[in-house]
A and B are shown apart, each in its own frame.
Chain A
Amino acid sequence: MSDSREWTPQAIQAEIDALKHKPGALLPILHAIQDRLGFVPEGAVPIIAESLGQTRAEVHGVISFYHHFRTSPPGRHVVQVCRAEACQSVGARALEAHAKASLGVDFHQTTADRDITLEAVYCLGNCACGPSIRVDDEVRGRITPEAFDALVDELRTQPLEVIG
Chain B
Amino acid sequence: MSVRVFVPCDTTALSLGADAVARRLEREAESRGLALTVVRNGSRGLAWLEPLVEVETPAGRVAFGPVTPGDVPALLDAGLLEGRDTHPLALGPTKAIPYLERQQRLTFARIGVTDPLSIADYLAHDGFRGLEAALTREPQDIVEEVKASGLRGRGGAAFPTGIKWQTVLDAPADQKYIVCNADEGDSGTFADRLAMECDPYMLIEGMAIAGLAVNATQGYIYLRSEYPLAKRILDAAIVRAEAAGYLGDDIRGSGRAFHLEVRLGAGAYICGEETSLLESLEGKRGLVRFKPPLPAIEGLFGRPTVVNNVLSLAAVPFILAEGAEAYAGHGMGRSRGTLALQLAGNVKRGGLVELSFGTTLRTLMEEFGGGTASGRPLRAVQVGGPLCAYLPESQWDMPLDYETFAEVGAGVGHGGVVMFDDSVDMAEQARFSMEFCKVESCGKCTPCRIGSTRGVEVIDRIRAGRDRDANLALLGELCETMEDGSLCAMGGMTPFPVQSALKHFPDDFQRAPEGDRS
Q: Is residue B445 contacting chain A, with contact meaning CB distance below 8 A?
A: no
Is A85 a contact of B188 with CB atoms below 8 Å? yes
- In B213-232, which residues have CB < 8 Å from any A CB? 225-229
Q: Is residue B382 contacting chain A, with contact meaning CB distance below 8 A?
A: yes
| Chain B residues whose C-beta falls within 8 Å of the C-beta of A126 in the assembled complex | 11-12, 15, 190
Complex interface: stretch among A4-12, A60-68, A98-106: A60-68
**Other-chain residue from A61, A125, A138 in contact with B190 (beta carbon distance below 8 A):** A125
Q: Is residue A140 contacting chain B, with contact meaning CB distance below 8 A?
A: yes
Is B15 a contact of A62 with CB atoms below 8 Å? no
Is A128 a contact of B347 with CB atoms below 8 Å? yes
Is B188 a contact of A127 with CB atoms below 8 Å? yes
- In B270-310, which residues have CB < 8 Å from any A CB? 280-286, 301
Q: Which of B48, B190, B263, B281 has the most CB of A within 10 A?
A: B190
Is B14 a contact of A138 with CB atoms below 8 Å? yes
Kindly state the separation between the CA atoms of A26 and B279 in the bound complex, as whole angstroms.
11
B380 closest partner in A (C-beta): A89
Is A85 a contact of B14 with CB atoms below 8 Å? no
Kindly state the separation between the CA atoms of A69 and B285 in the bound complex, as whole angstroms.
12
Q: Is residue A150 contacting chain B, with contact meaning CB distance below 8 A?
A: no
Kindly state the separation between the CA atoms of A68 and B271 in the bound complex, as whole angstroms.
13
A47 to chain B minimum Cβ distance, whole angstroms, is 16
Kindly state the separation between the CA atoms of A124 and B192 in the bound complex, as whole angstroms.
12
- In B362-419, which residues have CB < 8 Å from any A CB? 373-374, 382, 386, 416, 418-419
Kindly state the separation between the CA atoms of A86 and B351 in the bound complex, as whole angstroms.
12
A118 to chain B minimum Cβ distance, whole angstroms, is 15
A26 to chain B minimum Cβ distance, whole angstroms, is 3
Is B382 a contact of A61 with CB atoms below 8 Å? no
| Chain B residues whose C-beta falls within 8 Å of the C-beta of A62 in the assembled complex | 283-285
A119 to chain B minimum Cβ distance, whole angstroms, is 9
Is B266 a contact of A30 with CB atoms below 8 Å? yes
Q: Is residue B436 contacting chain A, with contact meaning CB distance below 8 A?
A: yes
Known: A24-B281, A90-B345. A121 touches B226 (CB 8 A): yes
A-side interface mostly = loop
A143 closest partner in B (C-beta): B15
Is A27 a contact of B188 with CB atoms below 8 Å? no
Is B419 a contact of A89 with CB atoms below 8 Å? yes
Is A86 a contact of B345 with CB atoms below 8 Å? yes
Q: Is residue A41 contacting chain B, with contact meaning CB distance below 8 A?
A: no
Kindly state the separation between the CA atoms of A123 and B301 in the bound complex, as whole angstroms.
29
Q: Is residue B107 contacting chain A, with contact meaning CB distance below 8 A?
A: no
Known: A23-B301, A138-B14. A124 touches B418 (CB 8 A): no
Kindly state the separation between the CA atoms of A90 and B48 in the bound complex, as whole angstroms.
14
A147 to chain B minimum Cβ distance, whole angstroms, is 11
B369 to chain A minimum Cβ distance, whole angstroms, is 9
Is A129 a contact of B47 with CB atoms below 8 Å? yes
Known: A62-B284, A86-B345, A127-B345. A164 touches B187 (CB 8 A): no
| Chain A residues whose C-beta falls within 8 Å of the C-beta of B16 in the assembled complex | 129, 141-142
| Chain B residues whose C-beta falls within 8 Å of the C-beta of A23 in the assembled complex | 282, 301
B463 to chain A minimum Cβ distance, whole angstroms, is 14
**Other-chain residue from A65, A86, A134 in contact with B187 (beta carbon distance below 8 A):** A86
Is A66 a contact of B268 with CB atoms below 8 Å? yes
- In A41-81, which residues have CB < 8 Å from any B CB? 52, 58, 61-62, 65-69
- In B330-353, which residues have CB < 8 Å from any A CB? 342-347, 350-351
B438 to chain A minimum Cβ distance, whole angstroms, is 12
Is A24 a contact of B282 with CB atoms below 8 Å? yes
Q: Is residue A97 contacting chain B, with contact meaning CB distance below 8 A?
A: no
Kindly state the separation between the CA atoms of A138 and B229 in the bound complex, as whole angstroms.
8
Q: Is residue B145 contacting chain A, with contact meaning CB distance below 8 A?
A: no
Is B14 a contact of A125 with CB atoms below 8 Å? no
Q: Is residue B432 contacting chain A, with contact meaning CB distance below 8 A?
A: yes
**Other-chain residue from A66, A69, A125, A164 in contact with B226 (beta carbon distance below 8 A):** A125
**Other-chain residue from B17, B350, B442 in contact with A127 (beta carbon distance below 8 A):** B350
Is B345 a contact of A140 with CB atoms below 8 Å? no
Kindly state the separation between the CA atoms of A87 and B190 in the bound complex, as whole angstroms.
13
| Chain B residues whose C-beta falls within 8 Å of the C-beta of A144 in the assembled complex | none
**Other-chain residue from A30, A85, A139 in contact with B429 (beta carbon distance below 8 A):** A85
Is A27 a contact of B280 with CB atoms below 8 Å? yes
Is A122 a contact of B440 with CB atoms below 8 Å? yes
Is A128 a contact of B190 with CB atoms below 8 Å? yes
| Chain B residues whose C-beta falls within 8 Å of the C-beta of A85 in the assembled complex | 187-188, 345, 382, 386, 418, 429, 432
B386 closest partner in A (C-beta): A85
A26 closest partner in B (C-beta): B283
Kindly state the separation between the CA atoms of A124 and B184 in the bound complex, as whole angstroms.
9
Q: Is residue B156 contacting chain A, with contact meaning CB distance below 8 A?
A: no
Kindly state the separation between the CA atoms of A24 and B228 in the bound complex, as whole angstroms.
21
Q: Sorted from nearest, which 8 A-B pairs have the closest CB atoms?
A: A128-B350, A84-B187, A26-B283, A66-B266, A127-B344, A68-B267, A128-B47, A141-B15
**Sampled A-B contacts (16; CB under 8 Å):** A27-B283, A66-B267, A67-B268, A84-B187, A85-B429, A85-B432, A86-B344, A86-B345, A86-B418, A87-B187, A121-B267, A125-B192, A128-B347, A129-B12, A129-B16, A164-B19
